[in-house]
Amino acid sequence: MQTEPIGSIPRPASLLQAIAAFQSGQITREQLDRAYDDALRDTIQRLEQTGSPVITDGEQTKPSFATYPLSGLTNLALDGVVIPFADGHTRQLPRLTSGPFRYAVYAASYFTRARTLTTRPLKQAVISASALSLLYPSDPIPGYPREAFLADLLNEAETDIRTALDAGADSVQIDFTEGRLSLKLDPSGGLLRSFIDINNQVLDRFTPAQRQRIGVHACPGGDRDSTHSADVDYTTLLPDLFQMNAGRFYLQMASEANRERALLTVRRVLKPDQFVFIGVIDPINALIETPALVKYRILETASLLPVEQLGSTDDCGFAPFADDTSTARDTAFAKIDARVKGTALAARELGL
């Protein structure tokens, strides 16, 4: 049975200290890069030690899962869309001030850096085009209408995915955490469907074989042990989500209040050519799951979904923003280790 992490791993304290020291002018860029390399190497080695058949770079060198393409851009202001979390803290996107829109960084650069450190299959996470569509302000930018921005955005999002695939990524995972949030902002589903359409315009540029290596990750957010949309009924998201023209779906489920209801909805909308990775680990719960609990969650899922279309994963990343220290690094690896071991136990029981 396939099992994969979502992506981010908490950064070691040494890296966070180096980032702060660089920002205050206490160390050089070369010293910071060495700290990044040390963290990346340690992350990959520890993921390999869990026995995970597919690994990631842990997003050790990304400023965040959402804004990495924007690093170094000068046509942005800091007063963009605000995303509130249940515990009261917020995250804020920047606002585009002028065109044209171009990525400053493509995810393939992270993949290439990690590729030198492992021979294991390596997946690469990218941010969705729909999330970055929120950069465009409500008032049109003079000389750069929204239509022109979206055309540029689609081209850049395609390049982000394509260059990662061309570099040798085992798969590319599109982070789509804004999907469930969109239903909180617009319960009619209009915003969600517009997001689906934007992403499908990107996905339709790839062949069916390529789309089998492209997945979509959905969760209610996970930052500082809080979520932004867990109070939204999951079953209102799933039917539209599976209209995305992707071959893989990575679904938060371990933390879901009514897993059976959500899984029955997945069974109803899952297409024969789609593969689903079900979350069996809750990254924002301090409890470290046991392999036995992971096995139970997989067997529960396998009683409702076709086992030949089923894999396991974590609900979401453990530290999607570089400054998130709410989960201990050792805890994250212990949870991943339990997922790998528990998946093997379930596979044996299922005769796989």
pLDDT digits (tens, 9 = 90+) for 30-52: 999 999 999 999 999 999 999 99
Query: What CATH code is assigned to 13-349?
Result: 3.20.20.210
pLDDT at 23: 92
Over residues 287-294, the mean pLDDT reads: 97
Alpha helices in the chain (DSSP H): 13-23, 29-49, 108-115, 129-132, 146-166, 178-185, 190-203, 208-211, 234-241, 259-269, 291-302, 329-349
Over residues 171-199, the mean pLDDT reads: 96
pLDDT at 321: 86
With residue 76 as reference, give the H or E element that holds it: strand 76-77
pLDDT exceeds 90 at position 182: yes
pLDDT exceeds 90 at position 203: yes
- Whether the CB-CB separation of 269 and 316 falls below 8 Å is answered with no
Length of the chain: 352
pLDDT exceeds 90 at position 224: no
- The rounded mean pLDDT for the chain is 95
Whole-structure pTM value: 0.95
Over residues 168-181, the mean pLDDT reads: 96
pLDDT at 128: 97
pLDDT exceeds 90 at position 324: no
- Whether the CB-CB separation of 118 and 58 falls below 8 Å is answered with no
| Structure token digits, residue 73 | 């851009």
pLDDT at 19: 93
Over residues 302-308, the mean pLDDT reads: 97
Close Cβ partners of 287 (under 8 Å, ≥ 6 residues apart):
none
- Lowest average pLDDT, out of 78-82, 136-140, 211-215, 334-338, goes to 78-82
The domain ranges of the chain are 13-349
Cα–Cα dist 124/253, whole Å: 21
Cα–Cα dist 90/92, whole Å: 7
State percent of the chain over pLDDT 90. Answer: 90
pLDDT exceeds 90 at position 111: yes
- Lowest average pLDDT, out of 84-98, 141-155, 258-272, 274-288, goes to 84-98
Over residues 311-333, the mean pLDDT reads: 91
pLDDT at 30: 95
Confidence of residue 303 (pLDDT cuts 50, 70, 90): very high
State percent of the chain over pLDDT 70. Answer: 100
pLDDT at 310: 98
